[in-house]
Amino acid sequence: MSGTSLDGIDAAMIAFDAAHPTGLLIGKQFHHYPAALRQQILDIHDTGVDELHRAALIANELADRYAETVNSLIASSQIRPTAIACHGQTVRHRPDAGYTIQLINAARLAEQTLTTVIADFRSRDIAAGGQGAPLVPAFHVAAFRHPLQHRVIVNIGGIANLTNIPPAGNILGFDCGPGNALLDAWCQLHTGQAFDHNGDWGAQGRIIPELLTKYLDHPYFALAAPKSAGREQFNLAWVTGKLQGYEAPQDVQATLLQLTALGIADAIKHYCTGATEIYVCGGGAHNSALLSALRSLMSAFRIDLTDALGIQADWLEAHAFAWLGWQTLQGKAGNLPEATGARHSCILGAIYPA
């Protein structure tokens, strides 16, 4: 898995059997993206010269780096996997136009690992009228539904998404707004650091109420769920376009953090009536300032990491895509129409045999 935050590659080795139908983490490996590759991926988000050729070269390099990560994990665990479920790197997400693009040369990855690869998980859901995202709610339900407790799972990656899981009745999942993407981009622009460690830098600033109001006016927040978002909606140009020019960078960071927290909190209050437990996963789970803001806004809820439910917050999304790949190999649906808006459940992914 490599997500919107563009920090690197998460490879999780997951074992599935009758005792562990949603899988058990038995190995893990993380490799950072080089700065040059990260910048190339950021650049390809926008229309530019010869972008088809540039996209193909990025897909090749991603395959090489995914293969390096997977082969390293295989060597360290001494286990040969049945298959690799590879999400690829999202560079355009336009369900409104009927497509989504995750860059990966899956054939090259299969060749370099001599392992079957399952890729292109989102396109079938879009073909069925869905958003193609978020896909992880299906796994959240399979792994975390409880017969008595009403839970909400919040994944804070580049974009934040949530899954509402009552003990019985209707499930709902959707992208609720920005996660780490804006915080990371603003931090890197002003400090040179890829992210704001623990939210410490932004914690030195103050929230600018009038700026927060402008950010909350984004039409995405008023859209009905299910819905999905990406850098198309929330990006650095949008952040800077709302500024007057006199704002202190740390004040903007504090405001963006509150925007992220409010996007999550307001979505839970609006769509998750009756919930009492919130479990957080993704990179944002390590931002103590963000978790503090969430707890302040959601004081009536128990808020914890998904580690408390048995799946490490850092590895949940990679674990989820392994499960989605396992669903594909078994000929079972992987999407959740209540989360994506698809007309029906679908078997997801394209298979590239070893």
Residue 15 lies in a domain: yes
Q: How far apart are the first and last CA of the chain?
A: 20
The pLDDT tens digits of the residues spanning 214-260 come to 999 999 999 999 999 998 999 999 999 999 999 999 999 999 999 99
243 and 124 in a common domain: no
Residue 253 lies in a domain: yes
148 and 40 in a common domain: no
Question: Cα–Cα distance between 27 and 199 in angstroms, integer?
Answer: 29
Q: State yes or no: pLDDT of 131 exceeds 90.
A: yes
**Coil/strand/helix, residue 249:** helix
236 and 90 in a common domain: no
Residue 329 lies in a domain: no
Helix (H) or strand (E) holding 141: helix 136-144
Question: Cα–Cα distance between 202 and 39 in angstroms, integer?
Answer: 23
Residue 12 lies in a domain: yes
- The H-assigned helical ranges of 21-82 are 35-44, 51-77
299 and 240 in a common domain: yes
pLDDT score recorded for residue 316: 95
The pLDDT tens digits of the residues spanning 183-208 come to 999 999 999 998 999 999 999 999 99
Domain total in the chain: 2
Residue 306 lies in a domain: yes
Residue 337 lies in a domain: no
95 and 225 in a common domain: no
In order, the DSSP letters of 208-244 are -HHHHHHHHT-GGGGSPSS----TTTS-HHHHHHT--
What percent of the chain has pLDDT above 90?
95
Q: State yes or no: pLDDT of 6 exceeds 90.
A: no
Domain holding 43, by residue range, is 8-131+343-352
197 and 148 in a common domain: yes
- In degrees rounded to 5, what are phi and psi of residue 97? -100, 5
Residue 235 lies in a domain: yes
Question: Cα–Cα distance between 198 and 260 in angstroms, integer?
Answer: 15
Question: Cα–Cα distance between 13 and 29 in angstroms, integer?
Answer: 9
Q: Cβ atoms within 10 A of the Cβ of 207, count?
A: 17
Residue 76: give its domain's CATH number: 3.30.420.40
Strand partners, 173: 163
Residue 324 lies in a domain: no
36 and 181 in a common domain: no
